[in-house]
Amino acid sequence: MTLGPVMLDIASTCLSDEDKVRLRHPLTGGVILFTRNYESCEQLAALTAEIHALRTPPLLIAVDHEGGRVQRFRHDFTSLPAMRSLGKLWDAQPHRARRLAQQTGFVLAAELSACGVDLSFTPVLDVDHGQSSVIGDRSFHRKPQAVAELAHSLMLGLKSGGMAAVGKHFPGHGYIRADTHHEIAIDERAYADIEMSDLIPFRQMIDFGLTGMMAAHVIYPRVDKHSAGFSHFWLNTILRGELRFEGCIFSDDLSMQGAAGYGDIRDRAQAALRAGCDMILVCNDAQAADQLLETLQWEIPAVSLARLAHMRGRRYAKSMIQLHAEGTYVRAVREISEIGISNQALLF
């Protein structure tokens, strides 16, 4: 059985019978985990092993684990800094900031991969325009070049820890105030303004070899009437065509309010897939997930399957116990712990 184009969530820290039915469905291709799915490293490793054992090839397992306020697993995991703290350090010590960004990416990936997680939806490539509460300190910086440099370093760290990078939220979520989890978001800027600012980190990261991309639930009406994740123009003309991105495109969660203008869950899924997404996410709505699996008709293209295969993680260590005995990891954790101290020192 090949992977399907749908990524779903699960209810708890172990698989229920209902979860197993959904995850064995031919349309399913991945699982996204949340804080409710985590109790301990041992439990998480057992859960990911059970998920991977359900199918051949195994389902992809993902998580939003960026650092700062978006870190799903905390107990027994390293407390990762918000990306803004690396940006602050970049202003005074750019070389050190890049080094610490790489170490952060390495620790992030090594810990997750040791527990069987394939990928994290990171780094955030949005430019901080100072007015988006949902992005805020998740962004590295207000300067596009700083975002690109630090994200590149983080991506190198992710790779060394066994994990591909997924840039988000294309083509940029940092300019608007609206939170697409709860409302429809509109960015009134012209394409030239977006291109000269927000697109810079995406363009450079693609040139650096970025493997995955997540599209934004944001409408840019002066460019296209559809939000980016449902827009053939943004995903094909710009992302695939102009920027020459060849990796895997993920939708943002189709259950979010920012996707509400595209009908029921099947209509949203079809619109996102037809626009160019390789994999679509449906989270925190079991009824919608069941409806989608019952009604969606979609034969995943061979090129999408190839792109998804490149998102599969590599186990850096067999377990957290083994990882904690590894010198490179221990040194990286020690360096990361000094980020907050370094930023405090810059104030004096």
Position 180 confidence tier, pLDDT thresholds 50, 70, 90: low
Position 342 confidence tier, pLDDT thresholds 50, 70, 90: low
Instruction: Compute the mean pLDDT over every residue in the chain, rounded to the nearest whole number.
Output: 94
Position 178 confidence tier, pLDDT thresholds 50, 70, 90: low
* pLDDT at position 284 over 60: yes
pLDDT tens for 57-80 read 999 999 999 999 999 999 999 999
Position 263 confidence tier, pLDDT thresholds 50, 70, 90: confident
* pLDDT at position 134 over 60: yes
β partners of residue 329: none
For 95, the enclosing helix (H) or strand (E) is helix 94-114
What are the catalytic residues?
181, 252
Question: What is the model's pLDDT at position 182?
Answer: 57
Question: What is the model's pLDDT at position 294?
Answer: 97
pLDDT tens for 189-242 read 999 999 999 999 999 999 999 999 999 989 999 999 999 999 999 999 999 999
CB-based contacts of 200, cutoff 8 Å, min separation 6: 127, 144, 145, 147, 148
pLDDT tens for 79-126 read 999 999 999 999 999 999 999 999 999 999 999 999 999 999 999 999
* pLDDT at position 45 over 80: yes
pLDDT tens for 295-318 read 999 999 999 999 999 999 999 999
Position 347 confidence tier, pLDDT thresholds 50, 70, 90: very low
* pLDDT at position 1 over 90: no
Domains of the chain: 81-346 (3.20.20.300)
C-alpha dist (Å) from residue 208 to 51, 57, 153, 234 = 32, 28, 10, 20
75 labeled binding residue:
no
72 labeled binding residue:
yes
- Give CB contacts under 8 A, 24+ apart, made by 138-142: 138/66, 138/68, 138/69, 138/70, 138/82, 138/83, 138/84, 139/83, 139/84, 139/87, 139/174, 140/83, 140/84, 140/86, 140/87, 140/90, 141/84, 141/87, 141/90, 142/87
pTM of the model: 0.95
Question: What is the model's pLDDT at position 348?
Answer: 38
Q: Is residue 61 within 8 Å of residue 31, measured between CB atoms? A: yes
